[in-house]
Chain A
Amino acid sequence: MAKKIAKSYIDRVKRENAKRDKKTITSIENAADEIYKKIMRKGKPMLRFPVRSLSNVSYDKKKGYLEIGKARKERTLTVNTVKGFAQTLRMMGLSRELVQTNDFATKRDVYYQSKNWAEAKFSEQSESDTVMDDIEALFSVDDVSREQLRFVPDEHGGAVAGELVVLDPDLDTGEVERIDCTRFGSGAYSIPSSVEHLSFETKAKFVLAIETGGIFQRLQSHKFWKTADCILVSMAGVPTRSTRRFIRRLSDQIKIPVYAFVDCDPYGISNIYRTLKVGSGNAAHINRFFCVPSASYLGVTPQDIIDYDLPTHPLKDVDIKRAKDALKNDPFFQSKKQWRDALEQLLKMGVRAEQQSLAMWGLNYVIETYLPAKLANSKKFLP
Chain B
Amino acid sequence: MPRKKPQASRTQAASKPTAKKKAAKKKVSKKKTSRKTAAAACRRQGGLFDPEPAASPARRKKKTANKTAKKSPRKSVSTGQVDVAIAEKMAKKQKDISVSEFFAKNRHLLGFDSPARALLTTVREAVDNSLDACEEASVLPELIIDVRATGSTQHVVTIRDNGPGIVREQLPRIFARLLYGSKFHARKQTRGQQGIGISAAGMYGTLTTGKPMRVVSRISRRKPAIELVLAIDMAKNQPVVKKESEVEVEWAHGTEVQIELEGTYKKGKHSIDSFLDQVSLANPHVKIVYSNPIDEEPIIWERVSKVLPDPPNEILPHPHGVELGILMQMMKETNSRTVSGFLCTEFCRVTPNVVKKVSDETEGLGKRIDPDRHPKRLSTADVRILHKGIEATRMMAPPTNCLSPIGEDLMAKTLRRNFDPELVITVTRQPSVYRGNPFQVEAGIAWGGELPGDDLASIFRFANRVPLQYEQGACAITQSIVGTPWKNYEIQQARGALPTGPLAVLVHIASVWVPFTSESKKAVASYDEILKEMRLAIMEAGRKLATHLRKKRRLADAERKKDYIKTYIPQIGIALQDILTLSDTQRTKAEGNLSDVLERSRKM
Establish whether residues A42 and B579, one from each chain, have CB atoms under 8 Å apart when the complex forms: no
The A-contacting residues of B in range 561-604, CB under 8 angstroms, are 561, 564-565, 567-569, 571-572, 574-576, 578-580, 582, 589-590, 593-594, 596-598, 601-602
Q: Give the contact stretch, choosing among A116-124, A138-146, A232-240.
A: A116-124
Residues of chain B contacted by A120 (CB below 8 angstroms) = 568, 571
Q: Tell yes or no: A92 within 8 A of B by CB.
A: yes
Chain B: CB-nearest residue to A82: B568
Q: Which residues on the B side are within 8 Å of A86 (C-beta)? A: 568-569, 571-572, 575
Q: When the two chains form their complex, are residues B593 and A83 in contact, meaning their CB atoms are under 8 A apart?
A: no
Can you name the residue of chain A whose Cβ is closest to the Cβ of B590?
A: A39
Asked whether A39 lies within 8 Å of B565 as measured between CB atoms, the reply is no
Which bracket fits the contact residues of A?
20 to 34
Q: Which of B561, B568, B601 contacts A44 (CB 8 A)?
A: B601
- Which residue of the partner chain, among B572, B579, B590, B597, contacts A85 with CB atoms under 8 Å? B572
Q: Chain A contact residues: over half helix, strand or loop, or mixed?
A: helix
Instruction: Quote the shortest CB–CB distance from B603 to chain A (angstroms).
Output: 10
Cα A93 to Cα B581 with chains together (Å)? 11
Closest to A80 in B: B561
The chain A residue with its CB closest to the CB of B577 is: A93
A97 to B574, CA, bound (A): 14
- Which chain A residues (62-92) contact chain B, with CB distance < 8 Å? 77-80, 82-83, 85-87, 89-90, 92
Tell whether, in the assembled complex, residue A79 and residue B561 are in contact, meaning their CB atoms are under 8 Å apart: yes
Query: Is A35 in the interface zone, CB < 8 Å from B?
Result: yes
A195 nearest CB across to chain B (Å): 28
Within the complex, the shortest CB–CB distance from A149 to chain B, in Å, comes to 13
Instruction: Write the nearest CB–CB distance from B28 to chain A, whole angstroms.
Output: 89
The reply to whether A29 and B579 contact each other, CB–CB distance below 8 Å, is yes
Instruction: List chain B residues, Cβ under 8 A from A40.
Output: 589-590, 593
* A28 in contact (CB, < 8 A): yes
Q: Indicate if the CB atoms of B571 and A35 lie closer than 8 Å.
A: no
- Residues on A with C-beta less than 8 A from B568 are 82-83, 85-86, 119-120
Does A96 have its Cβ within 8 Å of any Cβ on chain B?
yes
A42-B596, A79-B565, A120-B571 known; A89-B579 Cβ under 8 A: yes
A33 CB–B CB distance under 8 Å: yes
Q: Roughly how many angstroms separate A86 CA and B573 CA in the complex, as a whole number?
A: 8
**Is the beta-carbon distance between A92 and B565 smaller than 8 angstroms?**
no
A79 — which chain B residues lie within 8 A by C-beta? 561, 564-565, 598, 601-602
Asked if A36 is at the interface of the complex by the 8 Å CB criterion, the answer is yes
Q: Is the CB of B574 within 8 A of A90?
A: yes
Residues of chain B with a CB closer than 8 A to A187's CB: none
Q: Do B580 and A29 touch across chains, with their CB atoms under 8 A apart?
A: yes
Per the 8 Å Cβ criterion, residues 24-80 of A in contact with B are: 28-29, 32-33, 35-36, 39-40, 42-44, 77-80
Instruction: Give complex CA distance A43, B567 in Å.
Output: 20
Most chain A Cβ neighbours within 10 Å, of B565, B590, B594, B596: B594
Query: In the assembly, what is the distance between CA of A226 and CA of B575, in Å?
Result: 54
Q: Quick one: closest A residue to B578, CB to CB?
A: A93
Majority SS at the chain B contact face: helix
Bound CA–CA A32/B578 (angstroms): 10
Q: Shortest CB–CB separation between residue A42 and chain B, in angstroms?
A: 5
Task: Say yes or no: A36-B582 contact (C-beta < 8 A), given A78-B601, A79-B601.
Answer: yes
A92 to B571, CA, bound (A): 12
Contacts of B590 in A (CB 8 A): 36, 39-40
* C-alpha spacing A89/B578, complex, angstroms: 10
Residues of A within 8 A of B596 (CB): 42
Contact B580 A77 (CB under 8 A): no
* A42, B569: Cβ atoms closer than 8 Å: no
Taking CB atoms, residues of chain B closer than 8 Å to A85 are 568, 572
Q: Is the CB of A92 within 8 A of B575?
A: yes
Q: Tell me, in angstroms, the Cα distance from A87 to B575 when the chains sit together.
A: 9
Is the pair A82, B582 in contact by a Cβ cutoff of 8 Å? no
Kindly provide the distance from the CB of A305 to the nearest chain B CB, expressed in whole angstroms. 53
Q: Which B residues touch A83, using CB under 8 A?
A: 564, 567-568
Q: Which residues on A sit within 8 Å (CB–CB) of B564?
A: 79, 82-83
A42 B576 Cβ-Cβ under 8 A: no
A32 touches B601 (CB 8 A): no
Q: B572, B579, B580 — which one has the most chain A CB atoms within 10 A of its CB?
A: B579
Q: How far is the CB of A76 from chain B (nearest CB, A)?
A: 9
Known: A29-B580, A36-B590, A83-B564. A117 touches B571 (CB 8 A): yes
Asked if residues A96 and B579 are in contact (CB atoms below 8 Å), the reply is: yes
The residue that B571 contacts in the complex, of A28, A33, A118, with Cβ under 8 A, is A118
A34 nearest CB across to chain B (Å): 11
* Nearest CB on B from A298, distance (A): 48
Please measure, in the bound complex, the distance between the C-alpha atom of A36 and the C-alpha atom of B582, giving whole angstroms. 10
How distant is the Cα of A80 from the Cα of B563 in the complex, in angstroms? 11
CB distance from A22 to the nearest CB of B (A): 15
- Asked, given contacts A29-B579, A89-B579, A117-B571, whether A42 binds B601 with beta carbons under 8 Å apart, the answer is no
Q: How far is the CA of A39 from the CA of B580 in the complex (A)?
A: 14
Closest chain A CB from B196 CB (angstroms): 66
- Please state if B565 and A42 are interface contacts (CB–CB under 8 Å): no
In the bound complex, what is the Cα–Cα distance between A247 and B265 (angstroms)?
A: 87
Closest to A78 in B: B601
Taken together as a complex, chains A and B put the C-alpha atoms of A44 and B569 apart, in Å, by 13
Which among B576, B601, B602 is the interface contact of A89 at CB below 8 angstroms?
Answer: B576
Complex CA distance for A93 and B589, rounded to whole angstroms: 20
Q: How far is the CA of A93 from the CA of B576 in the complex (A)?
A: 8
- Spell out B's residues near A (CB within 8 Å): 561, 564-565, 567-569, 571-572, 574-576, 578-580, 582, 589-590, 593-594, 596-598, 601-602
Q: List 26 A-B contacts (CB under 8 A).
A: A29-B579, A32-B575, A32-B576, A33-B580, A36-B582, A39-B576, A40-B590, A42-B593, A42-B597, A43-B597, A78-B598, A79-B561, A79-B564, A82-B598, A85-B568, A85-B572, A86-B571, A86-B575, A89-B575, A89-B579, A93-B575, A93-B578, A97-B578, A117-B571, A119-B567, A120-B568
* Closest A-B pairs by Cβ, 3 of them: A89-B575, A86-B571, A120-B571
**Further pairs besides A39-B590, A83-B564, A92-B575: 9, Cβ < 8 Å:** A29-B580, A32-B580, A44-B601, A77-B594, A78-B601, A79-B564, A82-B569, A82-B572, A96-B578
